[in-house]
């Protein structure tokens, strides 16, 4: 839980945030931001430890705690970092300290850790609340929360309500100390399907309440350590089963290599289990007697956790992207994070209205997940910086399907989106013309309106920065090939929004036929109703659109059948050479 995990968080924060950049804040603002977050964490600590409530998920809490510690290293490195101050008594000394386990990142790390270690066993990493059970002369004498690993809270009064904890064990030992996990018993729980279900917080809440909760009857116990037990794992498991802790033997498997560990990890991730898990733990017989155990020094156990379904990241900036039709999409640029097998650097919020509803700006902390097809999705904003410096968004009505047909500085985003659209295979199919290539031509002043590139010569194209002479000839060649495209392709290039079925059924072959169409004639095409038909008539009457159509007519586009192919001779050797040159230039760029 949050209390006993602070030590692990402190050990990991250096790695997790080692490359994080300090905020560009004044000392006054830094003190304000750190103070607000510090007070919020203290409030959550109090709710968790005194009231048994969990108003924020453990993952979000840990992320914000690490963030505060990062700020403290940036602005007050001489002062101690944030640490949980237990609001409970937490004064009961553990007979044997909780050491924690080493975290392994992937299968390769598992393989390195397993080298030269004999007699290894793997178990599910049960997601619950860590405790110490103390038996003296066979009678249960202590049930201690993990706390900081050395001291915890005495929960013995709750033990009679937990049927899974034997009140007596048959042993001739004067003292038996066991370490394990209190968990919420589940029925056919599949981790891959069901996730964590907040089970850990429910157990913690039930144990911390003053009164006995009905939930105590649903709590089980999984023993994962017997500090001074028999040296052989088989003997330990057999004895634990005799005492009533049968789950440990039931869910322990001997392994000899990382492939076997990976197989069990995958199997337990997908098969029904009686508890929530968050990975697997690999055990070796402890190398030290219990009295020598110390927090952070459990080298004989290591955990390989599942990839979290959600991760948190800091928002670095907010971009307002204008699409070719004038729609504005808000994109958050993020501190890169790993989510499953993807490195996530940005997430699309959608419209300006949604961005305003989310109320998220640079400096905020957000939680992400992967939606369908592996697309990053914003789940929630877990922290907002106190000083709200909002970026200036474009006006909602500044862009539309008829805006930015000609280039101007204020139209750069939409105009560049329009040019990029032309390259698509379903439009003009200009192979090799990526957004970056259009941007070079635009920056060089070569393009003034949506189709002015048709008149460029190879020499003019080569004047753009980063475009060689060979590459310029290839681009010119591709531009000329577009003259052979039929009218329907140029209609798409112009930005007229016709359904695909209507576009395929359109019999027109010249612009004059298109301009002569009435609303009624548009409705004769499949997928076009009265509203869309009137919109098409209105768009085609727009002077800006008509000027582009007039330009295309002057360029004999679409070409008449008699001139198709004239002046466009495909030199495949030159094209292959240009493609190799382009690949080298893009790699260098």
Structure tokens at 19: 């490359």
DSSP 520-554: HHHHTSTT--HHHHHHHHHHHT-HHHHHHHHHHHH
Structure tokens at 145: 């929360």
Residue 96 near residue 291, CB atoms below 8 Å:
yes
Backbone angle region of 177, left / alpha / beta, with phi > 0 → left and psi within -120 to 50 → alpha: beta
Q: Can you tell me which residue has the tokens 């178990």?
A: 123
Dihedral pair phi/psi, residue 527, rounded to 5°: 85, 5
Please give the structure tokens belonging to residue 23. Answer: 């905020």
Among 183, 187, 182, 181, smallest CA distance to 272 is for 187
Handedness of CA 325, 319, 406, 470 (dihedral sign): negative
Catalytic residue among 107, 117, 125, 158: 125
Task: Dump strand ranges (E) for 374-522.
Answer: 376-383
Q: Are 27 and 276 in contact (CB under 8 A)?
A: no
What single DSSP character describes residue 39? H
Euclidean distance between CA atoms 177 and 227, whole angstroms: 7
**C-alpha–C-alpha distance, residues 100 and 122, integer Å:** 16
Q: Is 125 a catalytic residue?
A: yes
**SS3 (DSSP) at 349:** strand
CB–CB of 157/232 below 8 Å? Answer: no
Strand spans (E) along 373-488: 376-383
Cα–chain center distance at 60: 13
Three-state secondary structure call for residue 131: strand
Helix ranges (H only) for 435-468 are: 435-443, 458-462
- Cβ burial, residue 127 (10 Å; 0-12/13-18/19+): buried
Residue 27, helix vs strand vs coil: helix
| H or E element that contains 281 | strand 277-283
Task: Catalogue the active-site residues.
Answer: 125
């Amino acid at each position: 839980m949050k209390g006993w995990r602070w030590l692990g968080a402190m050990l990991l924060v250096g790695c997790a945030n080692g490359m994080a950049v300090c905020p560009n804040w004044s000392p006054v603002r830094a003190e304000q931001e750190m103070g607000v977050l510090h007070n919020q964490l203290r409030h959550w600590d109090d709710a968790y430890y005194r009231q048994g409530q969990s108003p924020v998920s453990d993952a979000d809490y840990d992320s914000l705690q690490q963030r505060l510690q990062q700020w403290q290293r940036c602005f007050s490195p001489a002062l101690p970092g944030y640490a949980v101050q237990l609001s409970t008594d937490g004064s009961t000394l553990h007979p044997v300290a909780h050491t924690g386990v080493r975290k392994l990142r992937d299968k390769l790390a598992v393989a390195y850790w397993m080298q030269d270690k004999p007699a290894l066993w793997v178990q599910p990493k049960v997601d619950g609340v860590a405790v110490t059970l103390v038996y003296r002369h066979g009678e249960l004498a202590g049930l201690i929360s993990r706390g900081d690993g050395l001291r915890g809270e005495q929960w013995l009064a709750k033990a009679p309500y937990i049927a899974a904890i034997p009140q007596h064990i048959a042993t001739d030992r004067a003292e038996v100390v066991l370490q394990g996990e209190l968990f919420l018993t589940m029925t056919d729980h599949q981790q891959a399907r069901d996730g964590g279900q907040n089970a850990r917080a429910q157990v913690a809440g039930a144990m911390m309440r003053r009164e006995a909760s009905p939930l105590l009857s649903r709590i089980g116990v999984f023993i994962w350590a017997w500090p001074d037990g028999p040296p052989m794992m088989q003997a330990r498991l057999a004895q634990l089963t005799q005492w009533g802790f049968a789950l440990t033997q039931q869910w322990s498997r001997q392994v000899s290599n990382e492939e076997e560990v990976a197989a069990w990890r995958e199997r337990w991730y997908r098969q029904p289990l009686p508890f929530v898990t968050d990975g697997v733990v690999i055990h070796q017989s402890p190398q030290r007697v219990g009295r020598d155990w110390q927090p952070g020094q459990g080298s004989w156990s290591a955990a390989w956790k599942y990839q979290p379904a959600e991760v948190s990241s800091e928002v670095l900036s907010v971009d307002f992207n204008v699409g070719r039709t004038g729609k504005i999409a808000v994109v958050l640029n993020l501190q890169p994070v790993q989510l499953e097998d993807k490195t996530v650097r940005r997430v699309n919020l959608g419209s300006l209205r949604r961005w305003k509803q989310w109320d998220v700006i640079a400096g905020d902390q957000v939680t992400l997940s992967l939606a369908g097809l592996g697309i990053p999705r914003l789940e929630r904003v877990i922290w907002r910086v106190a000083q709200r410096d909002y970026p200036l968004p474009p006006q909602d009505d500044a862009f539309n399907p008829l805006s930015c047909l000609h280039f101007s500085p204020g139209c750069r985003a939409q105009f560049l989106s329009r040019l990029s659209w032309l390259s698509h295979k379903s439009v003009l199919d200009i192979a090799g013309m990526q957004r970056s290539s259009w941007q070079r031509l635009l920056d060089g002043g070569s393009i003034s309106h949506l189709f002015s590139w048709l008149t460029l010569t190879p020499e003019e194209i080569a004047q753009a920065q980063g475009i060689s002479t060979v590459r310029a000839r290839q681009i010119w060649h591709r531009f000329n090939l577009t003259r052979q495209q039929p009218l329907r392709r140029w209609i798409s290039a112009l930005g007229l929004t016709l359904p695909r079925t209507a576009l395929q059924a359109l019999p027109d072959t010249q612009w004059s036929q298109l301009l002569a169409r009435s609303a009624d004639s548009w409705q004769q095409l499949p997928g076009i109703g009265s509203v869309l038909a009137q919109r098409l008539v209105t768009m085609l009457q727009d002077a800006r659109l008509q000027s582009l159509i007039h330009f295309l007519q002057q360029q004999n586009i679409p070409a008449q059948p008699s001139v198709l192919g004239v002046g466009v001779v495909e030199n495949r050797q030159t094209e292959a050479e240009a493609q190799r040159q382009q690949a080298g230039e893009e790699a260098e760029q």
